[in-house]
Amino acid sequence: MHLICHYIHEPLYMFSPITHTHTQHKHLVSNLFWKRFFPMSICRLARSRTITRFLKTKICPFEIHERLITPNYSFFHACSSYKTLAGNFTRKPHELWDKTANILAFRRFESARAGEQAEAVSYTDDDEDENQSIDFPGGRVTFTPQIKFISESTDKRVPCYRVLDDDGYPFAGSRSEQVDKETALKMYKSMVTLQIMDHIFYEAQRQGRISFYMTSMGEEAINIATAAALSPDDIILPQYREPGILLWRGFTIEEFANQLFGTKNDAGKGRQMPVHYGSKKHNFVTVSSPIATQLPQAAGIAYSLKMDNKEACAVAFTGDGGTSEGDFHAGLNFAAVMEAPVLFICRNNGWAISTPISDQFRSDGVVVKGQAYGIRSIRIDGNDTLAVYSAIRAAREMVIREQKPILVEALTYRVGHHSTSDDSTKYRPLNEIEYWKTARNPLGRYRKWVQRNGWWTDEEETELRGSIRKQVMNAIQVADKTEKPSLKELFTDVYDRLPLNLHEQEKSLRETIKRHEQDFPADVPL
Amino acid sequence: MLKILRQKAAAAPLLRTVVLSSRNYSASAKEMTVREALNSALDEEMSADHRVFLMGEEVGEYQGAYKVTQGLLQKYGPERVVDTPITEAGFTGIGVGAAYYGLRPVVEFMTFNFAMQAIDNIINSAAKTNYMSSGNISVPIVFRGPNGAAAGVGAQHSQCYAAWYGAIPGLKVLTPYSSEDAHGLLKAAIRDPDPVVFLENELLYGESFPVSEEVLDAGFSTPIGKAKIEKEGKDVSIVAFSKMVGFSLKAAEILAKDGIDAEVINLRSIRPLDRSMINASVRKTNRLVTVEEGFPQHGVGAEICALIVEDSFDYLDAPVERIAGADVPMPYAANLERMALPQVEDIVRATKRACYRSIPMSAST
């Protein structure tokens, strides 16, 4: 507002000479001023004095300035100039007020000026007087006479925790949990099983035997190592690319097949579309299609666990795309405020169907978002089995001991298509997919480490792969021929007890079937 | 509009004051406002079951945006009465998660208009999960809050959601009218293992109704899915819910002077709808008028009309009259608002039409 006052009193400044295309600018500025801002400024004059006093101690006159003076942003091409401007004028803020008009002039060719780097997140205390602190709701803050913006990005990205290199050799000085032979082998075998299962079920969909499938190819390490690091009491809220956790916890290949084919042996009574597994006895909450709804729900479950004083936590998964949903904000914010023991794991695999992460967010990935909510976070190499195992173990221990949420960002790559309804070669290059499928495959890397320890041989590999293949094919054959769930399962579980209207509908349906038996499908038992 | 008020109550603990508008010393009847009825229902259920907890904006320190949860924070502590940040999607999701685990949350929306920001969690998660998880994950949650028009709050604070939630299988939808309804139905809703949407009405909070001794007993609850005949009659059935029940009773008084004996039915439960009682009433009177505040298309009245046509077509002596709010977003100006909502005169006129006592106003439109 103070700026506007200046404009009223010293309109001459508006027309001071400007270096490039000045006549054009001058014309536009004068137009803008007289047509748009003059009336606005008149009514603001009345309040301007108090606002001026108020503004003097504030740090961003430029924001107001910018909003008032730049209705047509495309015209003023120096979009980021206000920050550098702040850098130039921070030494003596009152100088700012005298040169207000020049600011407008300077803005025009900011792109030509080499901008001074805005400050990184941490503030130095040298140019601040430590006695100068004021309190506001939220606590005391020291104040500073400098205008310092927190940069939107840091020079270096947050580093990623990694234990094994691409050839399966542990890095010198790497710190990780000791994994005994039994766990290491179980992890490897589960990863192989998951990979083969995914391949064969995907093919089954292509052959028309199931309606839909989603693979977890490329993310086997996240699936299995996380499951291995957690305890069976931890409640999992999956997104949809975490069947490995169920596999680890004992869900059999036959149970997977039954869910995909929707047979009568499916614990889910054929209610859900394929890959939407759920299992109460394995503490795996049924997969829900709307993205990120599981995040605030995880905070709720964790809160309940806390009230029950259980030695367990809630673990919620999401992808990079899921972090854009409103529920991500609500879930993380809430978990932090309520101090709920949730472990949020984000599988940043680079793609949300066809949206690459450059179109998803502009922050340094997901790990930096944790701090915004007051949540401790870490970035890990999601394709490194040992790194995932160690990091999740450490995170879980912190979550339960301190009863606070933790955010883990696991970097990885989605090798497969988003689902069987997607053809990712349409939006990403084939060679990129091949590279991640072969050179950066999590299984290959981990296998090298396991074999080097003398725990695995090539013969065992072939044998395992052969037997899993047979098991999966067999499961498909059996499930394909199994009957579907009976008719009564159409009506049950809508409510706790069958309501009257559904009871009537079922009765009327059965009567219709009796009258027209030939129209009723043969593989649905009554 | 009340969302704008963010002042926290003074630090001094507030005593739970039960304000009775008039004290009737007779042994049989006592008066209670709907607000007190809801408050006492919550209090009784929270003390009976330690898994019940409240969540919502301003439910704790502020004693409730409409003072329905007054005194509960002081009595049960912040772990059971949780003040939430402004994120309907967030706290609904958290409530659903807690219900998955086995707690029994009562989630308050400042109005059901704001529940639209959480509607995915209410419908896709709360309503459908028991079915989709084949009975393994039940969601014993209650969503409550004011629904429908208040006075002078404009379009985004005045919509009635009875028809929207009433369409969803998996939900139970309740619309209490009197204090007895509010008290009994809220207790039943909290005890119910299914997700319940409890639609209150802001203008009814301050109204007092007589309650019998039986209602005051802690074990009392009203069965869900049963409508109530507020006034018996033989000429025409007027079916309404929530505030419109009061208007219908006033209309019935006016009609009585014209010799029309109207039967007023208080639905109480939108889902499940008490089909048998509505049918029985129409078979007795042969004429039907439905009254609701919400938008006319696909409304509750439309559903009742359809089911009467399916079940009791031969008993109808006149077409069903459907009274609903105007098909416009609620205007703010008081005169326009009055015209956008059904008034007693509209009910009287429609009932007379159903009884062939008057010519329709817009015969040629």
A326-338 and B88-101 helices cross at what angle (nearest 10)? 70
In the numeric block, which tokens belong to residue B315? 């008993």
Show residues of chain A in contact with B80, CB under 8 Å.
Answer: none
Quote the pLDDT of residue B360. 57
pLDDT at A57 over 80: no
Number of CB atoms found within 10 A of residue A271's CB: 22
| Residues whose CB falls within 8 Å of the CB of residue B144, separated by 6 or more in sequence, listed in order | B38, B106, B107, B108, B109, B186, B189, B197, B198, B199, B200
Quote the pLDDT of residue B307. 95
- Which of B94, B99, B225 is the closest to A299 by Cβ? B94
Q: B211 near B29, Cβ under 8 Å?
A: yes
Q: Residue B86 — very low, low, confident or very high, per pLDDT cuts 50/70/90?
A: confident
Quote the pLDDT of residue B361. 59
- Which of A271, A296, A489 is the closest to B97 by Cβ? A296
A100-107 and A2-9 helices cross at what angle (nearest 10)? 100
Show residues of chain A in contact with B90, CB under 8 Å.
Answer: 296, 299, 327, 329-331, 333-334
Catalytic, A289? Answer yes
Q: Is residue A319 less than 8 Å (CB to CB) from chain B?
A: no
More confident residue, B33 or A102: B33
| Residues whose CB falls within 8 Å of the CB of residue A420, separated by 6 or more in sequence, listed in order | A202, A205, A206, A212, A213, A214
In the numeric block, which tokens belong to residue A125? 């205390």
Q: What is the DSSP letter of A135?
A: E
Q: Judging by beta carbons within 10 Å of its beta carbon (0-12, 13-18, 19+), is residue B293 exposed, middle or buried? A: buried
Q: For residue B208, which phi and psi values (nearest 5 degrees)?
A: -110, 150
Quote the pLDDT of residue A301. 95
Quote the pLDDT of residue B96. 96
pLDDT at B258 over 50: yes
Quote the pLDDT of residue A526. 85
Q: Which CATH architecture has domain B228-355?
A: 3-Layer(aba) Sandwich (3.40)
In the numeric block, which tokens belong to residue A394? 């450490």
Bridge-based pairing state of the strands A355-356 and A351-352: antiparallel
R_g (Cα) of chain B, nearest Å: 21
**DSSP H or E run through A445:** helix A442-452
Least Cα distance to B25 among B275, B192, B210 occurs for B210
Q: B294 near B163, Cβ under 8 Å?
A: yes
CB within 8 Å: A493 and B130: yes
| Residues whose CB falls within 8 Å of the CB of residue B12, separated by 6 or more in sequence, listed in order | none
Amino acid A487 reads L
Q: Is residue A286 less than 8 Å (CB to CB) from chain B?
A: yes
Alpha carbon distances (Å) from A439 to A220, A377, A383, B338: 15, 28, 11, 71
Residue of A nearest to B307 (CA): A501
Residue of A nearest to B168 (CA): A494
Q: For residue B322, which phi and psi values (nearest 5 degrees)?
A: -115, 120
Residues 217-236 of A with CB under 8 A from B: 235
Q: Mutate which of B7, B96, B133 to disrupt the A interface (most A C-beta within 10 Å)? A: B133
Transcribe A89-131 into DSSP letters: H-S-HHHHHHTHHHHHHHHTTGGGS-PPPPP-SSPPSTTS-TT
Quote the pLDDT of residue A130. 53
Q: Judging by beta carbons within 10 Å of its beta carbon (0-12, 13-18, 19+), is residue B201 exposed, middle or buried? A: buried
pLDDT at A122 over 80: no
Q: Determine the Cα–Cα distance for residues A481 and A463; give it in Å rounded to an integer.
A: 28
In the numeric block, which tokens belong to residue A159? 């580093």
Quote the pLDDT of residue B28. 56
R_g (Cα) of chain A, nearest Å: 30
Could you read off the pLDDT of A360-411 as tens digits, one per residue?
A: 999 999 999 999 999 999 999 999 999 999 999 999 999 999 999 999 999 9
Q: Residue A81 — very low, low, confident or very high, per pLDDT cuts 50/70/90?
A: very low
Show residues of chain B in contact with A285, CB under 8 Å.
Answer: 100, 137
Average pLDDT of span B170-189 = 96
In the numeric block, which tokens belong to residue B147? 């629904």
Least Cα distance to A241 among A260, A265, A222 occurs for A222
Q: Residue B165 — very low, low, confident or very high, per pLDDT cuts 50/70/90?
A: very high
| Residues whose CB falls within 8 Å of the CB of residue B277, separated by 6 or more in sequence, listed in order | B226, B227, B229, B265
Residue of B nearest to A502 (CA): B169
CB within 8 Å: B129 and A496: no
**CA–CA min distance A502, chain B (Å):** 10
Q: Determine the Cα–Cα distance for residues B163 and A513; give it in Å rounded to an integer.
A: 32
Could you read off the pLDDT of B93-109 as tens digits, one per residue?
A: 999 999 999 999 999 99
Interior angle at CA A74, CA A69 and CA A80, nearest 5: 75
**CA–CA min distance A268, chain B (Å):** 5
Provide the CATH number for the domain formed by B31-216 in this structure.
3.40.50.970
Could you read off the pLDDT of A169-194 as tens digits, one per residue?
A: 999 888 888 899 999 999 999 999 99
Residue of B nearest to A288 (CA): B125
* Domain residue ranges of chain B, discontinuous segments joined by +: 31-216, 228-355
Q: B292 near B240, Cβ under 8 Å?
A: yes
Could you read off the pLDDT of A125-142 as tens digits, one per residue?
A: 554 455 678 899 999 999
| Residues whose CB falls within 8 Å of the CB of residue A429, separated by 6 or more in sequence, listed in order | none
Q: A472 near A201, Cβ under 8 Å?
A: yes
Catalytic, A459? Answer no
Amino acid A126 reads D
| Residues whose CB falls within 8 Å of the CB of residue A64, separated by 6 or more in sequence, listed in order | A1, A3, A55
Longest dimension (CA), chain B: 65
**CA–CA min distance B94, chain A (Å):** 4
